[in-house]
Amino acid sequence: MDPNVNAIVSRLNSGDPKAPDELLPLVYDELRALAQAYFRRERSDHTLQPTSLVHEAYVKLLDQTRIEWQGKAHFLAVAAMAMRRVLIDHARKQNALRRGGNLDRVTLSNLDLTDDKDDIDLLALDELLDELATLDDRQHRIVELRFFGGLTVPEVATVLNLSRSTIEAEWRMARAWLSTKLSDNTP
């Protein structure tokens, strides 16, 4: 953990108006890496760029007044979820522009952040994550933090205040459930 970032995140909680400007340079590279990981799974003709995604998500984060930031890992996890929301909203707008056009549905062989081979239909994944949230909110949060947030098992355990073994078990179950659901929806 970067104590400097954690101190600034703490100041963000207390409403320090200088904290957002001081925080961005310290987390920008990590936010950009998250955005690039998202785009490796997107269509090659995507109209949104990683830099725009980072900035839109950062602005949304700063508008959050109900979040009590718990440190850098928590901030990055919420940033990843904000990026997901921006991408989902963008995909919905693009889909609406095409009047419900034919989005290619592609399955995931697994939920490994290092796998750059498969494109992901974010709308389909978003629907499945919404369904998972109704079935098991903890697994939903773990998937968001691991897959979208890029957090490690220990980081997820810290953010959710759970043991590593619990996170590992829940992650395996959530991945299996998502794989099954995705394979059921494959034409």
Please state, in angstroms and rounded to a whole number, the distance separating the CA atoms of residues 78 and 72.
10
State the amino acid at position 97 in one-letter form.
Answer: L
The backbone region for 89, taken as left when phi is positive above 0, alpha when psi lies in -120 to 50, beta otherwise, is alpha
Give me the pLDDT at residue 185, please: 63
For the segment 151-156, the average pLDDT, to the nearest whole number, is 86
pLDDT by residue (tens digit) across 5-50? 889 988 888 888 898 889 989 889 888 888 887 777 666 666 778 8
Query: 20, 62 in Cβ contact below 8 A?
Result: yes
Residues 6+ apart with CB under 8 A from 133: 140
Burial 49-66, CB ≥16 within 10 A → b, else e: ebeebbbbbbebbeeeee
- How far apart (Å, rounded) are the C-alpha atoms in residues 10 and 136? 30
pLDDT in tens, 92-129: 777 666 544 444 444 444 444 344 435 556 677 788 88
- pLDDT of the residue at 2: 65
- Cα–Cα distance for residue pair 56/1, rounded to 1 Å: 25
Average pLDDT, the chain: 78
Comparing C-alpha atoms, which of 180, 158, 176 is closest to residue 167? 158
pTM: 0.63
In this prediction, residue 3 carries a pLDDT of 67
118: exposed, middle or buried (C-beta count within 10 Å: 0-12, 13-18, 19+)?
Answer: middle
The residue among 173, 149, 153 whose CA lies nearest residue 162 is 153
Instruction: Find the length of the chain.
Output: 187
For tokens 């959050």, what's the residue?
64
- CA–CA separation, 85 and 5 (whole Å): 24
In which band, very low, low, confident or very high, does the pLDDT at 186 lie, cut at 50, 70 and 90?
A: low
Give the span between the Cα atoms of 144 and 158, in whole angstroms: 15
The percent of residues in the chain predicted with pLDDT above 90, rounded, is 14
